[in-house]
Chains A and B, each alone.
Chain A
Amino acid sequence: MSVVDGVPAMPPGLLDGLDLALEAQGLSLEYAQRRALDAVHLQVPRQRVTALIGSSGCGKSSLLRCFNRLNDEIAGCRVRGTVRVLGLDAYADTTSLPDLRRRVGMVFQKPNPFPQSVAENVAFGLRLAGIRSRLELDDRVEAALRAASLWDEVRDRLGDNALALSAGQQQRLVIARALAVEPEVLLMDEPASMLDPISTLRFEELVVALRERYSVLLVTHNMQQAARVADYTAFMQAGRLLEFDTTDRIFTNPRLRGTEDYITGRMRESGGQ
């Protein structure tokens, strides 16, 4: 366990009896010039929503992208430590990247639908998986759109280009696109930061609903959002995971001053004590 000045990041026994979806042990990550993660320990339980909070540049996104190895795309990025996804070593030589990424869906900060029709967007991953039957594609597209609570809004516009949808709809569309391939884990990288308040609310309802079937790891800058949707919350600072606990405890009674300062918005030159 990661220990900061004698305080372990996670209270012992917190996740006892829960299956783990994601697990990072001693995970360090370096870009060409800069160290982004420093010996991070994190456990993300299955079928729960875990929020990852921390100031900009603290390594939240880098950590997130270790779980589907999207960091591999960045030249000069080196990873040390262990990353387990659904019990399997993500960085093992035998791991197939497409398989890994099919089991770990991702939603990005900015909605990034492909410039294709709504239906084709959702079917993208399914086609990659080799599904050709029109009937099956239609069924699964509809199911994914329903799961992302977008179906009622786009059922008559499936052939329209996805870029014609509103930002909130686009964000739910890319969630539907991720859900269509039936992943077990969803990584979300500040997915609501570009949305208006109403769309944000809808999005949060959706995340809570997804919790029944998926394990969600959510990076957010919005404290209220973390408080509303997450079961557990992890606080990161300067590439280290400082505190992990139930959301209630993090927001009402954090063990570290740094966590409290961040949550309450107090500025400090050096945090952590």
Chain B
Amino acid sequence: MAAFASLPRGVPRRGDMGLWLAAGAVGLSLLALVALLAVLLQQTLRAFAPAPVAELRWNRGGTEHTLIAAVVEQDARALIVRGSEWLRRGTEYRRIARADLSQLDWPADAVTLHLRDGRELHLRGDAATWRITPLPALPQSLPGYALAPADIDDVVAANRLTPAQTIGLVLQRGWRFVAGASGGGVYPALVGTVLLVLLMSVLVMPLGVLLALWLHEYAGSGRIARLLRAAMANLAGVPAVIYGLFGLVLFVNGVGGGLDGLLQSDVPRWGSGGLLWSSLTLALLTLPVVVIATEEGLARVPASLRQAALALGATRAEMLWRVVLPVARPALLTALILAVARAAGEVAPLMLVGAVRYAPVLPLDGEFPYLHVSRQFMHLGQSVYDLALAGSDVVRDPAQAHAAALLLLVVVVGLNAAAIVVRNHLRERARELAV
């Protein structure tokens, strides 16, 4: 009994089964999280680190082959190499059995030329000279194809890189992957994702808060209110793609098509997927979350404050507007955080209502009205999907999908963190006052 009493209250005993189970669950979750991040980081590194270049000579079916190529993967039995991509990116992959190899060198003067369009050429020679002239001699089999100095992005002595240089290259390529000019970067998708989530927040918050106010403050326990509440609880569990279909029918075809008819436009402007319809679809998707979280916040506003306002002659609306909503502000931000967390990760419904693989223009530009909500847009989630499954390069694109996924993760965490910081600031202020 004495030993028992000396334990601080709240500290569980060591033999407690619940403690071990809980700790195990926490450990597993952390492990899964770490594994996810590790995979993303490793694949991202792989996407951007330069591959070593080998000079190969092998015999197959009585024919002698020679090739200078980047070695993408190797094991005990075979190599997977990527030769110079003279024509198209991602077309020169080759699997060579080690048994056929007669020569495998890693020449110190191997050079990789990165072209602006993402292709790579592997040659031998002095890296410095490739930067200017002469341009590499093209294979005789490709007449009419010429390489201009302006096509060359950079030249890397692939086999002589120091670790620092490798890191520098990874960072540089990573940056180019995000911000790359000439349609190469995923930057438009980044902008599209952030814009989508912001527009969704602007749309869903007033609607959700008003609905929660009505449900909590006015509706009482009538049949309609009960029905709506049940609907809200169940809507939160509807698969996202169904919302996408709903958005396609209601917003794109219905409202958008109707608008186009009214405006008598020849091309479908509103009647095709766009940022606004996608935001509305996501707003609908996150509405239950916002309503439920807001209602909980409203329920926590002390009745004494409501009565104080009413007793001073406030109408119901004045009481809600001047007392209840300000006091419930942290709860509203919690609702927003939940909505952002849910919306930022959704991809499936967007594919139906406006996210596209390649959008020629950003929805945001310097031209009035600056934010073009009817335009189609790119989304990081869509980029992940495209790179992973529909890319032209079976090695580099899936690896880059991980990079895009990492970026999406950063965006989601960033948006959430911003909202959490604001909420904690509000809470902190409320707590200071409550002391």
Binding site for B on A (CB under 8 A): 68, 70, 73, 75, 97-102, 105-106, 108, 110, 112-116, 124-125, 127-129, 161, 163-164, 174, 177-178, 181
Do residues A101 and B310 form an inter-chain contact, with CB atoms below 8 A?
yes
Question: Which of B306, B312, B323 contacts A177, CB < 8 Å?
Answer: B312
Question: Top 3 A-B pairs ranked by shortest CB distance?
Answer: A161-B433, A102-B313, A112-B304
Q: Verify B310–A181 contact, CB threshold 8 A.
A: no
Partner of B322, one of A102, A105, A124, A181: A124
Interface of B is mostly: helix
A128→B312 contact, CB < 8 A: yes
Task: Say if the beta carbon of B78 comes within 8 Å of chain A.
Answer: no
Main secondary structure of the interface of A (DSSP, over half): helix
Contact B323 A114 (CB under 8 A): yes
Chain B positions within 8 Å of A124 at CB level: 309, 312, 322
Nearest opposing residue in chain A for B308, CB measure: A112
CB-CB under 8 A from B305, the residues of chain A are: 112, 114
A85 to chain B, nearest CB (A): 13
Contact yes or no, B311 A115, CB < 8 A: no
B265 at the interface (CB under 8 A from A): no
Residues of A within 8 A of B220 (CB): 75
Chain B 174-191: CB-based contact to A (< 8 A → 1; otherwise 0): 000000000000000000
Q: A115-B327, A115-B430, A124-B322 in contact; A178/B307 too (CB < 8 A)?
A: no
Contacting residue for A101 out of B302, B304, B311, CB 8 A: B311
Can you list 15 A-B contacts with CB-CB less than 8 angstroms, sorted by A residue number? Answer: A70-B310, A101-B310, A108-B304, A114-B308, A114-B309, A115-B327, A124-B322, A125-B313, A128-B314, A128-B318, A128-B322, A161-B432, A161-B433, A164-B435, A178-B311
Contact between chains at B430 and A128 (CB < 8 Å): no
Check B433–A125 contact: CB distance below 8 A. no
Which one of A68, A98, A106 lies within 8 Å of B315 (CB-CB)?
Answer: A98
- Contacting pair A115 B433 (CB below 8 A): yes
Residues from chain B with Cβ under 8 Å of A105 in the complex: 311-312
Instruction: Give CA–CA (A73, B310) in the complex, Å.
Output: 9
Name B's A-contacting residues (CB within 8 A): 220-221, 302, 304-315, 318, 322-323, 326-327, 430, 432-435
Q: Are A68 and B323 within 8 A (Cβ)? A: no
Check A70 against B314 for contact (C-beta < 8 Å).
Answer: no
What is the CA–CA distance of A112 and B313 in the complex, to the nearest angstrom?
Answer: 15
In whole angstroms, what is the CA distance A77 to B309 when docked? 20
Contact A178–B312 (Cβ < 8 Å):
yes
Q: Is the CB of A108 within 8 A of B434?
A: no
> Across the interface, do B313 and A181 meet the contact criterion of CB distance under 8 Å?
yes
Cα–Cα distance between A201 and B302 once the two chains are bound (Å): 28
Closest approach, in angstroms, between the C-beta of B297 and any C-beta of chain A? Answer: 14
Roughly how many angstroms separate A124 CA and B221 CA in the complex, as a whole number?
31
B residues near A106, Cβ cutoff 8 Å: 307, 311
CA of A177 to CA of B304, assembled, Å = 14
CA distance A271 to B323 in the complex (A): 43
Give complex CA distance A114, B307 in Å. 11
Name the residue in B302, B307, B323, B434 with the highest tally of chain A Cβ atoms < 10 Å from its Cβ. B307
Identify the closest chain A residue to B313 (Cβ).
A102
B314: chain A residues at CB < 8 Å are 98, 128
Whether A164 pairs with B308 at a CB distance below 8 angstroms is no
Closest residue to B318 on the A side, CB-wise? A128
Residues of A within 8 A of B304 (CB): 108, 110, 112
Given the complex of chains A and B, what is the CA–CA distance between A125 and B434 in angstroms? 22
Residues of B within 8 A of A97 (CB): 313, 315
B433 engages A164 (CB within 8 Å): yes
